[in-house]
Amino acid sequence: EIVLTQSPGTLSLSPGERATLSCRASQSVSSSYLAWYQQKPGQAPRLLIYGASSRATGIPDRFSGSGSGTDFTLTISRLEPEDFAVYYCQQYGSSPSFGGGTKVEIK
Amino acid sequence: EVQLVQSGAEVKKPGESLKISCKGSGYSFTSYWIGWVRQMPGKGLEWMGIIYPGDSDTRYSPSFQGQVTISADKSISTAYLQWSSLKASDTAMYYCAADYGGAFDIWGQGTMVTVSS
């Protein structure tokens, strides 16, 4: 089973700043099967990025994904107030798994 | 509109059985994988397993193998997650999600399961 480790656990930033979230896999993940989700309190997760770098429908272009192999990154270029949330990476190959999450909080 | 609608919140006692549902609409239910995800109170997302409703091919996360049963009834476009004997540690929010347009892009609203004596 592939273990995904996200860092940092919490990111304290101000609106307008850039957020860089990391997801590291215990073994190589096909880039076709790496996704990022956003979850706000009391809501279901929302898909942001799939295939490591493709934005899902309706996702603003301030969200971008990159990486390959075992190291992946989600970047939010300029934080908007609605972006403060928890973010999860997921590999969705033959035996999917989630990372532990990164909370992006207001500084 | 493509959507998944889950059954309502449940309160059960330890040892009881339970089956929760996830109904798809607005798309070809049999053509896309549906997964189940657990989120314990205040915790992260855990992948439980996945089913392809077209042929009921089912795969479980090792952590949940033998603990739950995933099934689907394609005649009514509904996937299920069931327990034969609930434990207090099964208290959680459970989500279904469909791999429709790339990764799991369609999510149900979640079903809260509370197990308490």
Q: Is the pLDDT of residue B8 over 90?
A: yes
More reliable by pLDDT, A12 or B100: A12
Q: Which phi and psi angles does A32 have, rounded to 5°?
A: -65, -15
Name the pLDDT band for B101 (thresholds 50, 70, 90). confident
Strands A19-29 and A63-76: antiparallel
pLDDT at B98 over 80: yes
What's the average model confidence in pLDDT over B58-63?
A: 95
What's the mean pLDDT in B67-90?
A: 98
> What's the pLDDT at B102?
78
Which amino acid makes up residue B91?
T
Which pLDDT does position A35 carry in this prediction? 97
Cβ separation B103–A47 shorter than 8 A: yes
Checking if the pLDDT of A101 tops 90, the result is yes
Tens of pLDDT, residue by residue over A28-75, are 998 779 999 999 999 999 999 999 999 999 999 999 999 999 999 999
Contact between B110 and A95 using a beta-carbon 8 Å cutoff: no
Q: How confident is the model at residue B82 (pLDDT cuts 50, 70, 90)?
A: very high
* Residue of chain B whose Cα is closest to the Cα of A94: B59
Contact B104 A97 (CB under 8 A): no
- Assess contact for A57 and B101: CB atoms under 8 A: yes
The per-residue pLDDT for A94 is 75
Mutating which of B107, B109, B111, B112 best tests the A interface, going by the most A Cβ atoms within 10 A?
B107
Distances from the Cα of A24 to the Cα of A11, A46, A49, A103, B34, angstroms: 17, 21, 16, 16, 25
Structure confidence by residue, pLDDT tens digits, A74-86 = 999 999 999 999 9
pLDDT band at A1 (very low <50, low <70, confident <90, very high): confident
pLDDT at position B12, please? 98
Q: How far is CA A73 from the centre of its chain?
A: 7
Q: Which of B12, B3, B4 is nearest to B95 (CA)?
A: B4
Whether the bond into A15 is cis, omega within 30 of 0 = no
